[in-house]
A = this chain, B = another copy of it.
Amino acid sequence: MTVINKVNVEEQAIQAKKAAKTLSLLTTEEKNAALLTLADELDTEYETILTANKADLEKGRKKGYDAAYMDRLTLSKERVEEFAQGLRDVAKLEVPTGIVDSDWTLDNGLNVQKVTVPLGVIGMIYEARPNVTVDATGLALKSGNAIVLKGGSSAITSNKQIVEVMHRGLEKTKIPKEAVQFIDSTDREATQQLFTMKQHIDVLIPRGGGSLIQAVVNNATVPVLETGVGNCHIYIDAEADVEKALAILVNAKTDRPAVCNAVETAIIHKDWLETNKDALIQIFNENNISVHGDQAAVQVIPGAVLAGEDDWANEYLSTDIAVKTVNHLDDAIDHIDTYGTKHSEAIITENVQTAETFMKLVDAAALYHNASTRFTDGGALGFGAEIGISTQKLHARGPMGLPALTTIKYMMNGNGQIR
């Protein structure tokens, strides 16, 4: 038992809740001005952040983190400038609250308005990347929410300093600095306290690996916005155009293999495979794509290894691909039902009827006809900012922009109406 990092998580959450009230009374101009001030403060104080970051990097080297991990952890003047620019970009977006979704008057004269309002307090639980500290704060404040930040232990010194700089910035604005709470603890218990603090925290957003997200989903009684894994499929139908199919497959697999909207399994109609196997093999070779195939695929594709259950179920996040062959659309849909994660699923076909059936029957956030799964992305779709990609069905599905951080209130104005 160490008490060095003992923090009063509940007291911090209560302070955030209070600050959220103040925030809800501010104008859009006041919130935007605050974001610009935070950006300036980050630019001015970047050296203190880099100094703090050195401590985390030193610790990381001692722990023997791999190069990719160290890269995500490493800050520079340019990266801090990017954080600041991110806040300036968010300041330019339309504010998602105070929007009258509907407005009607009952026969008795009672006016009813359904209006978007902030959720209140957002609990952000995340892993290594220090950019989440700034990004999440910017999106929360823009949408009128207070935020409680609980980052991973490997970046704690950097994150703490970033929040200190943002707090100094907030002191020059109308937003109380208590609207941004940093849980300065590496205790697992501190995270678990957030799971059940329904009285003070309105939503938890986990950002990180699958095990972090599942721990939050399975243990939290506070509502969760689940951003999950993407085990995405492309189904190449018997009537698929060969050029479109190959270009889309290569793009979805190799453009950025480590992201959640990359394709992991190609489901290929046997007739199409029979006709186009040479071209397919060629693009696999040209793009160094390693194939894990079912029995029929392995027989046709040189160098392919036989796929097992893991190949169908897991994300490779590399240039490996699983290849499943089918005789019918229904078999493709069954496979996706069994192994998909309801993220992004594509069909390549020139038959519009087949495409419509696929898109109706497959249960996912994004369905594609003759396009790459890579477009499931807030930036690509023009949302301006993305909190994450929801793989849940309630509240928000697919890429989440600022509106996902709001709820609604019914505002009733009367002059004595009774029932």
Stretch at the interface among A126-134, A161-169, A361-369: A361-369
Task: Verify B369–A414 contact, CB threshold 8 A.
Answer: yes
Q: How many copies does the complex hold?
A: 2
A window 362-419: CB within 8 A of B: 363-372, 374-376, 380-382, 392-395, 397-398, 407-419
- Does A244 sit at the interface, judged by CB under 8 A? yes
Give the size range of A's interface with the partner: 35 or more
- Does A68 sit at the interface, judged by CB under 8 A? no
Task: Verify A413–B119 contact, CB threshold 8 A.
Answer: no
Task: Verify B221–A412 contact, CB threshold 8 A.
Answer: no
Rounded to whole angstroms, the CA-CA distance of A166 and B110 in the bound complex is 39
Min CB–CB distance A29 → chain B (angstroms):
17
- Does A106 sit at the interface, judged by CB under 8 A? yes
Rounded to whole angstroms, the CA-CA distance of A369 and B415 in the bound complex is 8
Rounded to whole angstroms, the CA-CA distance of A250 and B370 in the bound complex is 62
Contacts A202-B393, A393-B120, A394-B223 given; does A248 touch B418 at CB 8 Å: yes
Closest chain B residue to A21 by CB distance?
B361
Task: Verify B223–A366 contact, CB threshold 8 A.
Answer: no
Min CB–CB distance A115 → chain B (angstroms):
9
A window 104-145: CB within 8 A of B: 104, 106, 110, 112, 119-120
Rounded to whole angstroms, the CA-CA distance of A104 and B203 in the bound complex is 30
- Does A24 sit at the interface, judged by CB under 8 A? yes
Task: Verify B419–A380 contact, CB threshold 8 A.
Answer: yes
- Does A313 sit at the interface, judged by CB under 8 A? no
Task: Verify B370–A106 contact, CB threshold 8 A.
Answer: no
Contacts A366-B412, A376-B410, A417-B371 given; does A394 touch B393 at CB 8 Å: no
Task: Verify B363–A419 contact, CB threshold 8 A.
Answer: no
Closest chain B residue to A198 by CB distance?
B217
Task: Verify A407–B382 contact, CB threshold 8 A.
Answer: no
Question: Could you pull out 19 A-B pairs where Cβ atoms are within 8 angstroms?
Answer: A21-B361, A25-B357, A25-B360, A104-B382, A119-B393, A223-B393, A255-B418, A355-B413, A365-B410, A367-B409, A367-B412, A369-B411, A370-B416, A371-B412, A371-B418, A376-B410, A380-B419, A394-B394, A394-B407
Known: A247-B418, A397-B407. 9 other contacts (CB 8 A): A21-B361, A251-B419, A252-B418, A359-B411, A367-B412, A368-B412, A371-B415, A371-B416, A395-B395
Seen from chain A, the residues whose Cβ lies within 8 Å of a Cβ on chain B are: 21, 24-25, 104, 106, 110, 112, 119-120, 202-203, 217-218, 221, 223, 225, 241, 243-244, 247-248, 250-252, 255, 355, 357, 359-361, 363-372, 374-376, 380-382, 392-395, 397-398, 407-419
